[in-house]
Amino acid sequence: MVEVTSSPGMEQWEHVDMMYISIESTIALASVLGNVLVILVVSLNRALRDPTFCFIVSLALADIAVGTLVIPLAVVISLGLKTSFYTCLFLSCLLLIITQSSILSLMAIAIDRYLRIRIPTRYSIVVTQQRAWVAVGLCWLLSVLAGLVPMLGWHQALSSNSSTSPIKCQFMAVIRMDYMVYFNFFGWVVGPLTIMTGLYAEIFRVIRCQLNRRAEAVADTSKYYHKELKLAKSLALVLFLFTLCWLPLHIMNCITYFCPHCQVPKSTLYVGIFMSHGNSALNPLVYAFRIQRFRTTLIHIAQRCVLCKAHES
């Protein structure tokens, strides 16, 4: 009987894996708690129950799903547990669905703000809360359809015994890189991000023009556009952070696909994963520090919690 000992290299990678799981757990907890607070704030403050915040709630739900589903699944996949091929493929597709829903929620927010600026007098007629929730449903439906494309056949080829025997469940063992690069990245990330960048650029241009044109107009009109400008900046910051956090992982996918002989270090890959998942914990911080109505309600909730604890003690 041969005793297997761990080499220093294996121990180093085991340490990296443990660090990965610890950091992922922290990100998951922060994502869930922060975004549950987002939904709680919107539900308690009537002033926040407008179409824009319907889409923000949709984004918060996607971020909660990152903490409760995506991160645990990512950890399971990173451990390479043995499952059937199609079970592993379905788990990998779930990761993709949540990402797509975040992007489409950001797209819906950008379109909503654009309409708010372009048709301010007819906005409340065109964009009702009911239509906003219908749009949220469509975003999630499209996300599910796009994320499940590998289940329809765009996946890694099955070996002779992989359909019956368990495989080591790893993302790249079931998901093809041409799907990730051409369909997921170029089609569902670069395309929407380009459109959203154009929308926000047009939003800022229109607001600046209106503020310059109405410099001597009534105070209410000027106040309206200043308020819209501040909110647009906050939501554009959410988009910027999403882009900043997700691009490194997609760039690594492109390197893997276009340069098969290039090796992406495991630690670098983990950093890319941390950044993509950590984005879900950043959005509540943006809302808290940048949106006055949100921050006021959040402080009120915190004060009530403190008072309740004081009475209990």
DSSP 70: I
- For the chain, helix (H) and strand (E) counts, in that order, are 12, 2
Are 86 and 54 in contact by the 8 Å Cβ rule? The answer is no
Phi/psi class of residue 265: alpha, beta or left (left: φ > 0; alpha: ψ in -120 to 50)? Answer: beta
pTM, full prediction: 0.87
- pLDDT tens string 182-192: 999 999 999 99
The pLDDT of residue 141 is above 90 = yes
Residue type, 26: T
How many CB atoms are located within 10 Å of the residue 155 CB? Answer: 20
Confidence of residue 178 (pLDDT cuts 50, 70, 90): very high
E strand intervals along the chain: 82-83, 167-168
73, two tokens: 């699944």
- pLDDT tens string 51-110: 888 999 999 999 999 999 999 988 887 777 888 899 999 999 998 999 899 999 999 999
pLDDT of 311 reads 61
The fraction of the chain above a pLDDT of 70, given in percent, is: 88
